């Protein structure tokens, strides 16, 4: 199933990989991963933004290991060297091969698109435009009081979870557990079923959490953003907006093994936001994240036992999970 998901989900979908600030100058590069497919995002010397498969056309070595700024991309195995647009520039001893054709050995291109500063890559050369998948998600984010083009990158947080990636997505898609497992979050956000709204769209699911009239939190939640928004863009991009000053975090839920998932979130804030307010919000968010990690790792231990054949979703409180599961099933059954 893990290999099938890599082939039919992660090799065919748009996934968040980073932000434009990582490739702001000609020559900037950074490696990315899309399921099992390694990629690299580059800004070539002419200023064009590109994504390429990060695999040498010689014998398959990874080419780029670290972000940086460079004039060419050189494989560390046999020094095959590529231009930043992917064309093979040189290969040692290739002049001794009568039939060697450099023009046929460029790095394989990947589809790349952007929403504001957020960069997405898709391995499928026939992929629909990113805008078709986003739908009205950008408008929903703007309605929260967040101008994505006015945000500044703050930092990236990275961690791993000992659970299948789908369990993380399912946990993200419901707040049925919030009043039990997230006391701090529930002290601020009204998570009652009559107030906490769930909405499924074609390619993303959304949750809207208003601030409680008597809400308390470890950070100041007063500001332009009056309610939280939490979105999952198919298949694995999480977007979080907390009440308070303009803020947004975004990042993928990426399987590394059947029972292990890597995560990162890039945090953005409005320019000029007080650093002490950011620190307080990050502490609040980190606590919620640590609580979620414990939850999904406990679920992994339970479901891997195989002693229950299925679960039982609550249609009203967990219908976003059902929507996600239908998308997974449809992708895995696609025989094209």
Give the pair of three-digit tokens for residue 324. 């996600």
Q: Are the beta carbons of 250 and 146 closer than 8 angstroms?
A: no
Q: Is the dihedral of CA 323, 324, 326, 327 positive or negative?
A: positive
Longest dimension (CA), the chain: 78
What is 135-333's CATH topology?
Naphthalene 1,2-dioxygenase Alpha Subunit; Chain A, domain 1 (3.90.380)
Q: Are the beta carbons of 326 and 332 closer than 8 angstroms?
A: no
Supply the pLDDT for residue 336: 53
Supply the pLDDT for residue 334: 75
Q: What is the CATH number of domain 17-125?
A: 2.102.10.10
Supply the pLDDT for residue 335: 59
Alpha helices per DSSP H over the chain? 2-5, 130-134, 137-143, 165-172, 178-181, 183-188, 275-303, 319-333
Residues 6+ apart with CB under 8 A from 210: 189, 190, 195, 196, 226, 227, 228
Which DSSP category does 189 fall into?
Answer: B
Radius of gyration of the chain (CA): 22
Residues 6+ apart with CB under 8 A from 285: 240, 242, 249
3-state secondary structure of 4: helix
Supply the pLDDT for residue 215: 80
3-state secondary structure of 1: coil
- Over the chain (336 residues), the average pLDDT of each successive run of 10 is 97 98 98 97 97 98 98 98 98 96 97 98 95 98 97 98 98 97 96 97 97 89 95 98 98 98 98 97 97 98 94 96 98 79
Residues 6+ apart with CB under 8 A from 229: 140, 141, 144, 206, 207, 208, 209, 239, 240, 241
| Other CB atoms within 10 Å distance of the CB of residue 130 | 19
Distance between CA atoms of residues 50 and 85, nearest Å: 7
* Domain chopping of the chain, boundaries: 17-125, 135-333
Supply the pLDDT for residue 216: 86
Residues 6+ apart with CB under 8 A from 126: none
Distance between CA atoms of residues 265 and 250, nearest Å: 5
Q: Give the predicted TM-score (pTM) of the model.
A: 0.96
- Please tell me the number of Cα atoms within 13 Å of 211 on its side-chain side: 19
Q: Are the beta carbons of 189 and 212 closer than 8 angstroms?
A: yes
First to last CA, the chain: 17
CA distances from 310 to 28, 313, 320 (A): 48, 10, 17
């Amino acid at each position: 199933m893990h290999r099938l998901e890599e082939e039919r989900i992660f090799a065919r979908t748009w996934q968040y990989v980073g932000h434009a600030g990582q490739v702001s100058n000609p020559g900037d590069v950074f490696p990315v991963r899309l399921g099992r497919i390694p990629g690299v995002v580059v800004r070539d010397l002419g200023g064009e933004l590109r994504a390429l498969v990060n695999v040498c056309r010689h014998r398959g070595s990874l080419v780029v290991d670290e972000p940086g700024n460079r004039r060419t991309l050189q494989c560390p195995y046999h020094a095959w060297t590529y231009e930043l647009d992917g064309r093979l520039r040189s290969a040692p001893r290739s002049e001794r091969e009568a039939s060697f054709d450099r023009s046929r050995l460029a790095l394989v291109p990947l589809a790349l698109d952007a929403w504001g500063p957020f960069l997405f890559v898709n391995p499928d050369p026939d992929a629909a435009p990113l805008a078709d998948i986003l739908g009205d998600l950008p408008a929903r984010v703007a309605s929260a009081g967040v101008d994505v083009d006015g945000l500044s990158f703050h930092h990236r947080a990275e961690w791993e979870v000992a659970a299948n990636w789908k369990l993380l997505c399912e946990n993200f898609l419901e707040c049925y557990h919030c009043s039990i497992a997230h006391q701090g979050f529930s002290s601020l956000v009204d998570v009652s079923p009559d107030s906490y709204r769930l909405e499924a769209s074609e390619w993303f699911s959304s949750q809207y959490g208003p601030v409680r009239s008597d809400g308390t939190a470890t950070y100041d939640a007063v500001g332009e953003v009056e309610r939280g928004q939490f979105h999952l863009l198919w298949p694995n991009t999480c977007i979080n907006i907390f009440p308070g000053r303009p803020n947004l975090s975004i990042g993928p839920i990426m399987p590394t093994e059947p029972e292990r998932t890597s995560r990162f979130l890039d945090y953005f804030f409005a320019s000029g936001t007080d650093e002490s307010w950011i620190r307080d919000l990050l502490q609040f968010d980190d606590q919620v994240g640590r609580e979620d990690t414990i939850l999904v790792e406990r679920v992994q231990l339970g479901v891997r036992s195989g002693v229950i054949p299925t679960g039982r979703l609550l249609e009203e409180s967990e219908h976003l999970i059902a929507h996600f599961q239908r998308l997974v099933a449809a992708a895995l059954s696609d025989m094209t």
